Amino acid sequence: MDAYLIAIGTIAGIYLLLALGLNLQFGLTGLINFGHVGFFCVGAYTSAILSTKGVPIPLSLAAAAALAMLAAWPLGIISIRLREDYFAIVTLGFSEVVRLVVTSEGWLTNGVQGIAGIPRIFRAGGGEAQAVLMLGLTLAFCLISIVAMMRIVRSPFGRMIEAIRDNEEAVRSLGKEPARFKMQVLLLGSMLAGISGALYAHYIGYISPDQFIPFVTFQVWMAIIMGGVGRISGTIAGVLILMFFLEGSRFLRDVAPFIPEVSMASIRLGVIGLALILFTIYRPQGLMGDFTKR
């Protein structure tokens, strides 16, 4: 049981990093990023390729974060001045471009065959000790990001990006240039996605292009919408709810043994869908939603 909970915790931590980045971009700044998985993918592949070539893992992790930011930068220049819905389309396109590049450049990424045998971050000790260390590392990254987010929210920078979200024209009339702030937010969020991707690659040990489909982005969106957009507590709650439904439903059969094994999988998807609908109807602000604004 322990090892399974540790596995869930690790995956939840990886999703939490993704969700924190997206919450910074959408929840706080109002950037509709439909291409979050693109940066996740860049991070995963960077760290996987470097570490299988013998680069020490701390370096490959740093490279993953840096490269994800680097990938976001030109995208930002092109699209940050666009209105938000255009930005959404550009980012969605970007994530598909990343996936296609990774699929096609077989000399670097092994194409559709994917990269197998990605080294684990902690090699010493048995399976159990490794898993605990991995969980610890993931949660440490989450904790650092959460503390950083909380500081950002309280800082002048945080008030600025929230102002951009609420009324961009007003910000401009005060003599501030929103584009610069949006770029910084985009880079920060992408960095988190890059780290998250690197952790994912080392944790799963095998990556292929079909793991980086837009569905991953939308899972993260589901999490922050259920939890409460623009709230850090909401992001955490959202990821936990998502994991609870995805994994908890595996145990549904233990309470309802009359459901045949084969129907279980379909019921699980149904339960998640139903939960999303109920949230939208009864709690559109999300579980931890901010009721003071809008």
Is the Cα dihedral 103, 107, 108, 109 positive or negative?
positive
Question: What token pair was written down for 212?
Answer: 């980086």
Is 27 in contact with 231 (CB distance < 8 Å)? yes
Place of tokens 């960095």: 191
266 binds another protein (CB under 8 A): yes
Residues 9-48 as x/- pattern, contact with another protein by CB under 8 A? --x-------------------------------------
Question: What token pair was written down for 274?
Answer: 């139903």
Distance CA 117, CA 33 (A): 31
SS3 224: helix
| Closest separation in Å from C-beta 58 to another protein | 22
205 binds another protein (CB under 8 A): yes
Q: What are the residue ranges of helices labelled H in the chain?
A: 2-22, 36-52, 57-79, 84-104, 106-109, 127-154, 156-166, 168-173, 178-204, 214-227, 232-248, 252-255, 261-282
- Per CB under 8 A, the list member of 77, 81, 85, 206 interacting with another protein is 206
Minimum CB distance to another protein smaller for 116 or for 150: 116
- Per CB under 8 A, the list member of 55, 90, 133, 208 interacting with another protein is 208
Which of the stretches 40-48, 67-75, 160-168, 208-216 binds another protein when contact is defined by CB under 8 A?
208-216
Distance CA 115, CA 108 (A): 10
- Per CB under 8 A, the list member of 111, 136, 158, 214 interacting with another protein is 111
70 binds another protein (CB under 8 A): no
Minimum CB distance to another protein smaller for 55 or for 264: 264
Question: What token pair was written down for 47?
Answer: 């760290």
User: Distance of CA 94 to CAs 73, 77, 195, Å?
Assistant: 12, 13, 19
- Per CB under 8 A, the list member of 141, 238, 268, 288 interacting with another protein is 268
Q: How many residues bind another protein (CB under 8 A)?
A: 42
Residue among 211, 249, 282 at smallest CA distance from 43: 211
Minimum CB distance to another protein smaller for 58 or for 117: 117
The letter for the amino acid at 186 is L
Residues 184-203 as x/- pattern, contact with another protein by CB under 8 A? ----------------x---
Residues 272-291 as x/- pattern, contact with another protein by CB under 8 A? ----------x---------
Q: Classify strands 206-207 and 115-116 as parallel, antiparallel or unpaired.
A: antiparallel
Residues 224-253 as x/- pattern, contact with another protein by CB under 8 A? --------------------x-xxx-xxxx
Minimum CB distance to another protein smaller for 231 or for 268: 268
